[in-house]
Amino acid sequence: MEGEKSEMLVQVGLYVQALTQMVTACGREGQLELNTTLPLMAYGLHESIHCLARGAQVFAERCVTGLEADVARCRELMERSLMLVTALNPHIGYDAAASVAKEAFATGKSLREIVLARGLMDAATLDHALEPLAMTKPGESSLAGGG
């Protein structure tokens, strides 16, 4: 059932793209200050707004409402993300960070496990450096030199 609603939203998007092309073509038809296609342009814009609003509403009601994140799985995936290795560069340097990432990829271990096993950083500093939420706040992450 949810897949059908997703497909509906894709179809709405395609329909609105077509309406946008119609409005664009109508806009090219104007001569001087006269555009006889103005009613068609207004229809296309109104129809687009209506379809997008209704499509988003139906999708939200039937597919989004009630969804819950699997917090444990999200944390696991985040902690195993090799992209976080960039946060280690200011602390251990590019070459060491690249080496840690390669080992993590090859072994399936987390960046944290490898850095601690190699003794490259202490646990508290490492935890602060690898905190992704801090990376979303300008000036607060270790990448920006803060904290």
CATH number where 132 lies: 1.10.40.30
- How would you write the pLDDT of the chain (147 residues) with one tens digit per residue? 556 778 999 999 999 999 999 999 999 887 777 889 999 999 999 999 999 999 999 999 999 999 999 999 998 888 888 999 999 999 999 999 999 999 999 999 999 999 999 999 999 999 999 988 888 877 655 554 544
- pTM (two decimals): 0.54
Same domain membership, residue 131 and residue 75: yes
Q: What is the pLDDT of residue 39?
A: 93
Q: What is the pLDDT of residue 147?
A: 45
Final residue of a structural domain among 11, 34, 64: 64
Final residue of a structural domain among 19, 36, 64: 64
Q: What are the two backbone dihedrals, phi and then psi, of residue 120, each rounded to the nearest 5 degrees?
A: -80, -30
Same domain membership, residue 57 and residue 37: yes
Same domain membership, residue 77 and residue 59: no
Q: What is the pLDDT of residue 146?
A: 46
Spell out the SS3 assignment of the chain: CHHHHHHHHHHHHHHHHHHHHHHHHHHHCCECCECCCHHHHHHHHHHHHHHHHHHHHHHHHHHHCCCCCCHHHHHHHHHCCHHHHHHHHHHHCHHHHHHHHHHHHHHCCCHHHHHHHHCCCCHHHHHHHCCHHHHCCCCCCHHHCCC
Final residue of a structural domain among 45, 64, 83: 64
- Domain range for 122 is 71-144
| Domain total of the chain | 2
